[in-house]
Amino acid sequence: MENLKKIIKQFPEVGEVSEIKTLTSGLINQTYLVKSTSPEEPDYVLQRINHLIFTNIEMLQHNIEVVTNHIRQKLENNHEEDIERKVLHFLSATNGKTFFYDGEGYWRISVFIPRSHTLEAVTPESSYLAGLKFGEFQAMLADVPEQLGEIIPDFHNMEFRLKQLHEAITNNAASRLAEVQDIVNAIEKDADMMCSAEQLYREGKLPKRICHCDTKVSNMLFDEDGKVLCVIDLDTVMPSFIFSDFGDFLRSAANTGKEDEKDLDNVKFNMEIFKAFVKGYIESARSFLTPIEIEMLPYAATLFPYMQAVRFLADYINGDTYYQTQYEGHNLVRTKAQYKLYLEAKAATTEMKAYISSLL
C-alpha cells in the first residue's frame, strides 16, 4: 500500500487518504477505491492500466479526455443537474497528463461516483435502458470535432478477422484443419456478405462513428432509483461502425445459452431482449443515424456471433494460442456455440426488420 500512496501523491487534487481498498470488478485493469479522510472531499478510483492490452496509453487517455470533456460540455449546455455523477472525471497528475508512469506501470485516478451501482442481470428492462444509454452516448459524440485514435486496430474489422482465419488454415499449426473443414466451409459461404460494412465504408456509403466498443449492462452506472447515470469503462472508445455497440451487446445479451454452450439446443436468439434493446437504441440514436445504418441493424446482430465464431475457430486451428481454455477442444465448443447463435440471429432477420419498421 505504501507504493500506492506514493502514486496517489502524484495527483495533487487528492487530499488526505484514510483507506485504500481493492475493487474486484474489472477483468483488464487493477482497480482500487481511495477513501478520503475529509467528508467534504470525494473518494477516488485508482487504476493501473493494462498496457499489454492497451499499448498506446497516450492515445487511450486522449480519447477518454476528448469524450468525457465533450459529454460534460453537452450536459452543461443542457443545464443538467448532478453533472458530476453523469460523466467520469479524470484527475491531472504532476506531469500535466491524466496518467502517471511509475517506471513499471501506468496509473490514473478518477472521481468515485457516489450512491451508484452496476447491474449484471440482462432483462428486457435493463436491455431497454442499455439501448437508450448507449444510443445517447453515440448521439452525444456524433459531433466531436477531432478524430480519435483506434486504440485496438482492426478490433471489429470482419475482413481482418477472416484474414486471420485464412492464415490459420494455411499454416494448420496444430494439424486440426481436417476435423473442422465442415465448419470452415460453412463460415466461408457467408464471408462476402458478412464483410458488407467494410465494403460500404470504402464506397463512402457507411460512416465510422465514435463508439464504446464494449457495450454491456455492467458498463453503466445506475442511481438509487434505478435510472442510468452514465456509461463507464471507456478504454475501448474509438472510431468504429455503430454495429460495434449494437451487435456486440446482443451477442452476449440475446444469447439464451452460454458463450461456450455444449448443448446447442440451448442456444437461441432472444427476440424479447433484441426488441427491448433496439427500442431504446432507436429512441436515442435516431437523431443522427443514416437510413443505411438503421437498415443494417439486423446485420449487426448477426455480425458479432459470426465474427466471434471466426476468432474462436482461428484460435482452435492455431492450437489455442490466444484465448485461455479450460479443457481440450474448448475453442471448438465456443466456435460451434457462436456459429449456432449466428444462424439463429440470421433466421430472425425478417422479424427484426419488421419490428424496426414498426418503431419508425
C-alpha cell at 119: 447491474
Q: Is the pLDDT assigned to residue 279 strictly greater than 60?
A: yes
For residues 7 and 68, state if they share a domain.
Answer: yes
3-state secondary structure 196-220: HHHHHHHCCCCCCEEECCCCCHHHE
Give 86's contacts (C-beta < 8 A, 6+ positions apart).
71, 75, 80, 229, 230
For residues 89 and 168, state if they share a domain.
Answer: no
Which residues constitute the domain of residue 37? 2-111
Q: Is the pLDDT assigned to residue 272 strictly greater than 80?
A: yes
What is the per-residue pLDDT across 171-212, written as a single tens digit (0 to 9) for each? 999 999 999 999 999 999 999 999 999 999 999 999 999 999
Q: Strand 30-36's sheet: what is its strand order?
A: 17-23, 30-36, 44-49, 106-111, 100-101
What is the per-residue pLDDT across 10-51, written as a single tens digit (0 to 9) for each? 999 999 999 999 986 555 678 999 999 999 999 999 999 988
Domain limit, last residue, from 111, 142, 164? 111
Q: In this structure, are strands 209-211 and 238-240 parallel, antiparallel, or unpaired?
A: antiparallel
Give 24's contacts (C-beta < 8 A, 6+ positions apart).
none
For residues 106 and 128, state if they share a domain.
Answer: no
The closest of 227, 62, 67 to 137, measured between CA atoms, is 67
Q: What angle do CA 74, 151, 68 make, to 5 degrees?
A: 15
pLDDT at 121: 85
Q: Is the pLDDT assigned to residue 340 strictly greater than 60?
A: yes
In a domain, residue 260? The reply is yes
What is the per-residue pLDDT across 53-110, written as a single tens digit (0 to 9) for each? 899 999 999 999 999 999 999 999 999 999 999 999 999 999 999 999 999 999 999 9
Q: Is 323 helix (H, G, I), strand (E, B) or coil?
A: coil
C-alpha cell at 4: 500506492
pLDDT at 348: 98
CATH code at position 256: 3.90.1200.10
Q: Is the pLDDT assigned to residue 273 strictly greater than 70?
A: yes
What is the per-residue pLDDT across 133-145, written as a single tens digit (0 to 9) for each? 999 999 999 999 8
For residues 163 and 14, state if they share a domain.
Answer: no
Domain limit, last residue, from 111, 142, 167? 111
User: Using CA atoms, how far apart are residues 255 and 258, in angstroms rounded to an integer?
Assistant: 7
pLDDT at 136: 96
For residues 83 and 178, state if they share a domain.
Answer: no
- φ, ψ of residue 150 to 5 degrees: the values are -90, 100
Average pLDDT over residues 115-142: 94
Domain limit, last residue, from 88, 111, 134? 111
User: Using CA atoms, how far apart are residues 180 and 188, in angstroms rounded to an integer?
Assistant: 12
For residues 19 and 66, state if they share a domain.
Answer: yes
Q: Is the pLDDT assigned to residue 215 strictly greater than 60?
A: yes
CB burial class (10 A; 0-12, 13-18, 19+) of residue 322?
middle
Q: Which residues of 201-220 are buried (b: 16+ CB within 10 A; e: fewer)?
A: eeeeebbbbbbbbbbbbbbb
For residues 50 and 161, state if they share a domain.
Answer: no
- φ, ψ of residue 197 to 5 degrees: the values are -60, -50
Give 212's contacts (C-beta < 8 A, 6+ positions apart).
134, 137, 138, 219, 231, 234, 236, 237, 244, 245
Ramachandran class of 60: left when φ > 0, alpha when ψ lies in -120 to 50, beta otherwise: alpha
Average pLDDT, the chain: 95
Q: Look-up: residue for cell 457516489? A: 114
How many other C-beta atoms are found inside a 10 Å radius of the C-beta of residue 276? 24
Cβ contact 15:36 at 8 Å: yes
Please give the model's pTM, rounded to 2 decimal places.
0.91
pLDDT at 36: 95
For residues 107 and 128, state if they share a domain.
Answer: no
Instruction: Count up the domains in the chain and report the number.
Output: 2
What is the per-residue pLDDT across 326-336, written as a single tens digit (0 to 9) for each? 999 999 999 99
In a domain, residue 117? The reply is no
Q: Which long-range contacts (CB under 8 A, 24 or more apart) does 176-185 make?
A: 176/316, 176/317, 176/319, 177/317, 180/313, 180/316, 180/317, 180/332, 180/335, 183/313, 183/335, 183/336, 183/339, 184/313
The strand ranges marked E within the chain are 17-23, 30-36, 44-49, 100-101, 106-111, 209-211, 220-222, 228-231, 238-240
> Is residue 52 very low, low, confident or very high in pLDDT (cuts 50, 70, 90)?
confident
pLDDT at 28: 61
C-alpha cell at 263: 448443448
